[in-house]
Every structure is written in C-alpha cells, then in structure tokens.
Structure 1
Amino acid sequence: MARPHLPLNAIRAFEAAARHLSFTQAAIELCVTQAAVSHQVKVLEERLNVKLFKRLPRGLMITPEGEALLPTVNQAFDRMSEALSRLEGGQVREVLSLGVVGTFAVGWLLPRLADFQQQHPFVEIRLSTNNNRVDIAAEGLDYAIRFGDGAWHGVDAAPLFEAPLTPLCIPALAETLCTPENLSGHTLLRSYRANEWSNWFAAAGMAQPANLIKGIVFDSSIAMMEAALQGVGVALAPPLMFSRHLASGAIQQPFSCFISEGGYWLTRLKSRAPTPAMDAFQGWMLQRVEAESLRIAK
C-alpha cells in the first residue's frame, strides 16, 4: 500500500515558524525567503483545512490546532535525526540501554568506558543508575549490572566479580581503630542489607556491639561513602569500588578482615535476543574483568 504524500517542506517550515514564532526568523534558519516560509505554511494549512498560526503585527501566535500538531512533528524530526546520526561515518550505530547499580557505575565502569567506546564506536550507550532495584523489562534495558547472588527470575546472569566488604573511614577515625573492638565507640554506617555488619563482626571473631542498631541506613554505597568522607562514621563497603579514595588517602582501610555478601553480575532477560551491540558489550566486559583479575592475581 502506497504511503500518502507528505509535504515535508511545509512541515519543516511549520516547525521552524512554531519554534521562532516568526516567519522571518524561520526563513533565516532555513535559508529561504520569508515569503517562501509563509507560502509553505499556507500549503500545510490548506492541506489540513485548519489555521496553524494567527498572524500578528509583530510575529505569530500558534493556534490550538498548531499546538496539537507540533509535538508529533517534533518527535518525528527527532527520530529522523537520531536515525541519520546512527548512519554517520558509514556504519550503523546501535543504542545499548544499560542499567547499573550506582556504586559499580562510579567505582568501576565509568573509568573504563572510554576503552569500550574506542573499541566499539558503533555502540551508543544509554546509561541509567539505580540502587540495585531494577526492572529490566519495564525499563526497556538490554542489560542490568547488579549486586547479589545471581539468582534472579527470568534472567541470564553472567558473573563479573565479587566485591568483599570491609570497614572504610577517614584517616582521623582510622587512627583510633587498633582492633575491631574499637568500632563500638563509633557510628557504623549501614546499607539496607541488615546483616552485613553482624557478619563482619562474626568474621572478625567478636560479638556485635550494642551501638550497631544506632547506625545510619543507606540505600546507596555512594551516599554511605560520602557520609564516611565527611567523618560521620565508619562505612562497611567494597574497597574495590572506592579505589580512588583509597589511593588518594582520603579514605583508609583499618582492618584486613573481609566478608563477601555477593558479587556483581551482568544480567539480561532470557527472552531478549542479543544484538550486535549487546554481544560487543558483554564480550568487552568479560574480557576486561578477566584481564584485571589475572593482573591482580600475579
């Protein structure tokens, strides 16, 4: 079935005139005369049998009919622009929608993402962060990187690495922490996973201190570490995700005792057929993780 003829020049003239509320300014943008823009808008009005603008002594006022048409026109031009940009350079660009737990995004992925983009320039990543609560289907994600045990219903989960937890704090607090028992005198910053501090104290060979229940609860390790940086208390967090803070000396790790409460996983819906962009990202992720793991092991 043949598509109806679309007056593209007239639609473009309407969009520019609606944005500027001026035939003159639209004409300057489109490199045509003011009369040409006015004529094209009139063509579209006659085609639709409605008035799109009220002509005023100084400029234009868009009519309710024009207001109703404008969002659809803008969306169509945006989609065409996006499609054309993906073809620039002679290669089709693919969008990869990626949801990432915030701690992993800031602490591991972002410092390495330029390497992926250099190797796979055809992939355009759209990154959203979360606090480990994510709905891949509802959010339209290709992949989600999350923390846990890998047992999520309806998804394929590829293990990346574990991120063991240990107390982290500013140097002034670290100086007061000679033994785990010294923690009982400090505010203990906690995540929403309630048993982490209890498990760490058990691994350190001591009973849970009474002040544990008084600690501040965070839904994000990034926010928890910010509180630790401000001297609010001692965070139980993965050093691997805060290596820059440790390297700069802003944060210190007073103890060598760790606990593992899970790991980071690259997940996708089992019903989602992998695209070339998805294959490229998974291959890069797993290769990068393996290479860094081998370097640490040496």
Structure 2
Amino acid sequence: MVAPLLGGSMEGNQNVERIQALSDVLEAYEHGESLFPPTPPVAALRAFEAVARRRSFTRAAIELSQTQTAISHQVRKLESLLGVSLFVRSLSGIELTEEGAQLLPAVQDSLGMLTQAIKRIKDRQHSEELSVVTLAAFGVKCLLPHLADFRERFPYVRLRIKTVISFSASHNYLHDIAFRYGTGNWNNVTAVRVTEETLTPVCSPKFLAAYPIESVHDFFEQVPLILTESSAFSNGWDAWFAANQIRPPATGNVIICDNMLSAIQAAIDGLGVTLGRRPLITADLAANNLVAPFANEIRGDSAYYMTIAKGSEDRRLIREFMDWFCSLGIC
C-alpha cells in the first residue's frame, strides 16, 4: 500500500487514491497483466454489427455466409464479455438496447478503420512503383497531360515523377525511365528516340494582332524577343535567322528566361516572341494559346529520347510504360 502523502483534505485523499490506482496498475503490468480490458473478438463484433444494421439474425447470417446459430453464438459471446444485453425482441423484430445503440457507432468506425488498413496493406503488396525523371518542359507539356490515361490502364502502378531543368546531375536521381534531350549518345543506357525537334517563332494571338507583320525584318526589329539561356537548350535564334536568310535584329529588346517552360509561358502571356520547339508547343498551338506566324521551321540538332538502364529492357513494367507512351503518337 502507498502511505498517505497529504493531509486529510478531500483533495489530498483524491490524490492518494489516484496514486494508489496508478501503483496497482503498474504492479499488475510488472506481473505480465495487460493494461487494457479484454478486446472482443473481431468475429463477434462483425456479427453484432451485421445484426444491428439489418435488424435480423437471419439476414446477418446470409450476409456473413454463416449459420444463424453461429451468429447468435457470437452475439451471446459479446454480451457475456460486456455483461449487458445488446438486443431485445419486440413486435416489430429485433431492437438495440441502450447499450447496444451506444456500442454500434464505435464498432462500425473500428471495423471500417480495420478494413481500410487491410486494404492499404493488400494494395501495397500488389502495386508496383515506376520512377520517371524528365526535363521540366517536356514533362509539363508532353507527359503529365497524358498520365490520366496511363493510370486508367495501369491502376496498380504507383508513379513517382521527378522534373529537372537539366540532366547534368542526373546520376543523383534514382529512376527507371528518363526523358532526355540530346543526340542519344549516353553511357550505360539504352536510348529510344521519342520525337525529333523542330523550331519556329511563336507568340500569342493577341500579341500578333498588336504587331501585324508587314515586313519580316521590321517585325523582329520592333517586337521583344524571348530568349532561353539554359544548360539543357541552346538559344536557337541565330540558327533560325540564318536558315531563313533574315538579318538578326540589332535591338536589345529581349526577355531572357532560364528555362524553356518559362519562355513558352511568357509568350502565351503576350510578352513577346519566343522560338518555340515542337513537341513542346504542339498542344498550345492546337489550343490557340500560341500561333506560329511563319511557316518556315528548322530541324533542331537534338531530339527527345526515353532512356533506361542497360539490362532493364525486359522488365515488364518499363516495357508497358514505353509501349504506352509510344502509342500516344508522340513517338
């Protein structure tokens, strides 16, 4: 027993009782006894919930694929454990007692949580993960808009998408598939060409209306050019001007972006003319977010590739993803 620590006041006596109760609990725990009351078997809880919801032992037995006798036995076991009756019979059938009505919501919540936890575990066991790393512009413009279709076809695949500005440090990213931009000559990977690249100036329809083209040279002298200075993409403007025999503008009216995605968005927002690159601008041209005022396109010196580590070509999940992406018509 714990000796009184306080005087004889009511508060002191209550504190002594609390300390004694805690001492008894700890003593029981030291002897291997559980700190919690016995938990009813799940089968008994399921039987009770089904009977309470259907207000019938017969219908509960059918739902749980058991006999009515088995269901009755489970309910009696639960009532014996709790020391209360959970159901009473009335003229209209079976009714919950006050204790049964109090217990039902807690049982339904607990069984629901248990069911969801089991489902998550099973889903994780049957799911597979695929990690994909991509240049940000290609990912936003060419990959992400189509992933809903992939998810519908392959719902068991858990996708992990990583976007990068360049692949200068791609060895730092653990991935199964990479969408890369270049010549296709990389070490220790198998490269599958996705699509070539073509370049053409683009701007918003509203911007073009404000700067109608009367003379190609005069047009470029007066409009802001949106340049891209990126480790992933070369600027490209000089090559386009040379291929179309146009003298580069002498004006310094330029906006410089550090990535292609920003340059495209700047053009959509009416800030100027950027050198668009198919396939990155294809969707925006189709949606009339951008227009290409000149028919002359030039082919870029690089292309887009899907790359995978050598030796993983026959992995089923990788093959499914590659086949799916090529079926989109981008390849």
Q: TM-score, length-normalised on structure 2?
A: 0.57
The one of 220, 234, 240 aligned to 1:200: 240
The one of 137, 161, 171 aligned to 1:103: 137
Superimposed CA distance per residue, residues 49-91 of structure 1 (whole angstroms, 9 cap, x where no aligned partner) = xxxxxxxxxxxxxxxxxxxxxxxxxxxxxxxx999747429x7
Superimposed CA distance per residue, residues 152-183 of structure 1 (whole angstroms, 9 cap, x where no aligned partner) = 23321100111311111122332323453111
Gaps of 5+ in 1: 1-33, 38-80, 294-298
**Does the 8 A contact of 2:127 with 2:156 survive in 1?**
yes
Aligned residue runs from structure 1 range 10-89, under 5 A: 35-36=35-36, 85=120, 87-88=122-123
The one of 277, 294, 300 aligned to 1:255: 294
Q: Distance in 2 between matches of 1:136 and 1:87?
A: 33
Q: Are the structure 2 counterparts of residues 194 and 280 from structure 1 closer, same or farther at C-alpha, using a change threshold of 3 Å? A: closer
Question: Which structure has the highest helix share of the two?
Answer: 1
Matched residue of 1:121: which SS?
Answer: coil
Structure number, greater radius of gyration: 2
Q: Are the structure 2 counterparts of residues 202 and 86 from structure 1 closer, same or farther at C-alpha, using a change threshold of 3 Å? A: farther
Structural RMSD (CA): 3.0
The one of 216, 220, 244 aligned to 1:180: 216
Q: Within the alignment, does 1:167 sit opposite 2:212 as a pair?
A: no
Matched residue of 1:249: which SS?
Answer: coil
**Does the 8 A contact of 2:313 with 2:319 survive in 1?**
no
Q: Within the alignment, does 1:147 sit opposite 2:149 as a pair?
A: no
Q: Are the structure 2 counterparts of residues 109 and 195 from structure 1 closer, same or farther at C-alpha, using a change threshold of 3 Å? A: closer
The alpha carbon displacement at 1:251 in A equals 2.0
Match of 2:308 in 1: 268
Code of the residue aligned with 1:284 in structure 2: it is W
**Does the 8 A contact of 2:227 with 2:235 survive in 1?**
no
Q: Are the structure 2 counterparts of residues 280 and 113 from structure 1 closer, same or farther at C-alpha, using a change threshold of 3 Å? A: same
Matched residue of 1:278: which SS?
Answer: helix
Match of 2:10 in 1: none
The one of 117, 130, 150 aligned to 1:116: 150
**Does the 8 A contact of 1:136 with 1:269 survive in 2?**
no
Match of 2:256 in 1: 217
Q: Within the alignment, does 1:282 sit opposite 2:319 as a pair?
A: no
Q: Distance in 1 between matches of 2:320 and 2:254?
A: 42
The one of 273, 280, 301 aligned to 1:241: 280
**Does the 8 A contact of 1:189 with 1:233 survive in 2?**
yes
The one of 220, 223, 229 aligned to 2:268: 229
Q: How many residues align?
A: 213
Matched residue of 1:238: which SS?
Answer: strand
**Does the 8 A contact of 2:223 with 2:272 survive in 1?**
yes
- What is the aligned-residue identity percentage? 27
Matched residue of 2:299: which SS?
Answer: coil
Q: Are the structure 2 counterparts of residues 203 and 255 from structure 1 closer, same or farther at C-alpha, using a change threshold of 3 Å? A: same
Q: Distance in 2 between matches of 1:195 and 1:247?
A: 24
